[in-house]
Structure 1
Amino acid sequence: MNKKLSISKNKVFEEISTYNSILLFLDYDGTLAPFADNPAEAYPLPGVIELIKHLNDTEKYSISLITGRRLKDLRKFINLKDIYYAGTHGLEIITADGNELSPGKDRGLKNTDLNNIRDFFKKEYLIDPDYSLEDKGLVLTLHHPTTINKDKIIKHLETIIRKREYEILPGRKIIEIRPRFWNKGDAVKLLIQEIKEKNKIDSYLPIYIGDDSTDEDVFKILNNGIGIYVENENKTNTSADYTVKNPTEVLEFLQELKILNK
């Protein structure tokens, strides 16, 4: 059972204090930024960018931002140097040195499925202004109103896609179609290896904070690390070790890390 994370006093901070290297992975929407009806207006909480920069400038912390957004969209909100970025669930990666990694290349995926889904969304849903389609290349995200028959849409999508290549992932007011071969968990494993080699470290503590079903892919593989799930309005079963209520409590957690590192 996951535990409520107390910001003021918790063994999490005691464990953090015993490590010289902390690999901190942060989701964006619903974690660093409150949800907004228009994703283009989902700004990070005041103070978040400054805290990320401060922690990353210390020897102890290496910061990575991991999101379902395209990287170009994420970096409209946070565009700091010397941190790691993973967009489109890790299909786009930029290292702290500025090198680009693209795990989705040369996978031989057939775009026919995605083209058929695009056509399906246009005909059935995008005629309604309450729906919008976010096209990320190998990933499609349908943004929808709260009151819909999600199961009906998913059942129809399953008749279109090849399940061996793509999967359908419902989330908070979204339905996402993404490749099966790669997820945020794979991206975090790759980034851990990159950071270990770059910083020449053997002993480290990975921490991941996220709020969505896609973040469960990380919580499940985060061996000997700390997973923190951000509930927002969705109290659900999670593989994370701890939970916090919302982005405000994530901000307080980052503030505590800054104090702890003095």
Structure 2
Amino acid sequence: MLDYDGTLVPLAPRPEEARPSPRLLKLLSCLSQDLKRHVAVVSGRRVEELADLLPLPYLFLAGLHGREVLHPAQDSRGSRLRLKLGPPGPPPGVWEEIQAHAERLATQVSGCWVEDKKEAIALHFREADPKKAAQIVATFIRFTQPLVEAHQLEYLKGNKVIEVRIKGIHKGIAVEYFLKLFPHAFPIFLGDDLTDEDAFRMLKGRGLSVLVGEPRPTLATYNLPTPAKVEDFLERLIRG
């Protein structure tokens, strides 16, 4: 189980710039086609994005931090099986209202922009002045908090991004789903972000958890410094 941004590929100023290397695609293809292994990418991105970035038919894809899962298996119409995990979302109009607040604020500071994930809204400020970004984030929380509290949502703070998502949705539920799906497998999870700590927590006392990037306080048991080293690790898995 592998996070995408910051784990399989280096972080980029914009999500569309974080593209997989040819080597990575080859490694994931080899791993996922091995009948003795099951490979999943677990990301905050939507599964449609992941499917475009990683057009490999044997991968499991878990998007929106575990909200949606795309199976390799196809139904009778040739479509891949798609599931939703976790509680139901808010009523119609709530996401649109949160997005409107985010977009209005993002226009006030250069380098801020909004990502509509359909069942989550992310306000990015990676390219913005840190002081101005902090003010925008505080204002965004103040404006949206009544909606968040009323509709069982929550804030998720990541690497220069704040996201509103459904409460109870996190990467740990994706890990739990795969552990139940493959109860006899030896689980491995690699991730770099604070959002990956929920996944590491699910593997506490079992399997292998790996933090990618600079060492920091974490529930992971091992560390790899860069996505390039992750590629080396995947290659070693293939070699056995």
Q: Above 0.5 in TM-score?
A: yes
Question: Paired residue for 2:53?
Answer: 77
Post-superposition shift, 1:162? 0.8
CA distance in 2, matches of 1:167, 1:58: 38
Q: Does 1:110 align with 2:91?
A: yes
Q: Does 1:248 align with 2:228?
A: yes
CA distance in 2, matches of 1:102, 1:68: 14
Give aligned-pair identity as a percent. Answer: 30
Q: Spell out, residue by residue over 1:187-234, the C-alpha distance to the aligned partner (whole angstroms, 9 max, x if none).
A: 11112222x2xxxxx5321000011111111101114111101125xx
Check conservation: 2:190, 2:212, Cα contact below 8 A. yes
CA distance in 1, matches of 2:184, 2:158: 35
CA distance in 1, matches of 2:89, 2:39: 32
> By percentage of residues, which structure has more helix?
2
Q: Which residue of 138, 155, 175 maps to 1:188?
A: 175
Question: How do 1:189-228 and structure 2 match up within 5 A?
Answer: 189-194=176-181, 196=182, 202-223=183-204, 224-228=206-210
* Cα 1:81–1:59 shift into 2, 3 Å: same
Question: How do 1:66-145 and structure 2 match up within 5 A?
Answer: 66-97=42-73, 98-103=80-85, 107=88, 109-111=90-92, 113-144=94-125, 145=127
Q: Tell me, which stretches of 5 or more residues in structure 1 are unaligned?
A: 1-24, 197-201
Q: Does 1:149 align with 2:134?
A: yes
SS at match of 2:187: strand
CA distance in 1, matches of 2:20, 2:107: 28
Post-superposition shift, 1:184? 1.0
Post-superposition shift, 1:155? 4.5
Please report the RMSD computed on the Cα atoms of aligned residues, expressed in angstroms. 2.2
Check conservation: 2:103, 2:113, Cα contact below 8 A. no
Question: How do 1:28-39 and structure 2 match up within 5 A?
Answer: 28-39=4-15
Post-superposition shift, 1:154? 6.1
> What is the TM-score when the length of structure 2 is the normalising length?
0.85
Post-superposition shift, 1:111? 4.7
Read off the aligned partner of 1:244 and give its amino acid letter: L
SS at match of 1:60: coil
Question: Paired residue for 1:6?
Answer: none
Post-superposition shift, 1:167? 1.1
CA distance in 1, matches of 2:233, 2:53: 20
Q: Tell me, which stretches of 5 or more residues in structure 2 are unaligned?
A: 74-79
Check conservation: 2:43, 2:65, Cα contact below 8 A. yes
- How many residues are treated as equivalent by the alignment? 227
Q: Spell out, residue by residue over 1:67-116, the C-alpha distance to the aligned partner (whole angstroms, 9 max, x if none).
A: 11111111221011122111111212111212110225x72523554333
Post-superposition shift, 1:152? 2.3
Read off the aligned partner of 1:60 and give its amino acid letter: K
Read off the aligned partner of 2:235 and give its amino acid letter: Q
* Cα 1:212–1:108 shift into 2, 3 Å: closer
* Cα 1:30–1:70 shift into 2, 3 Å: same
Question: Paired residue for 2:162?
Answer: 175
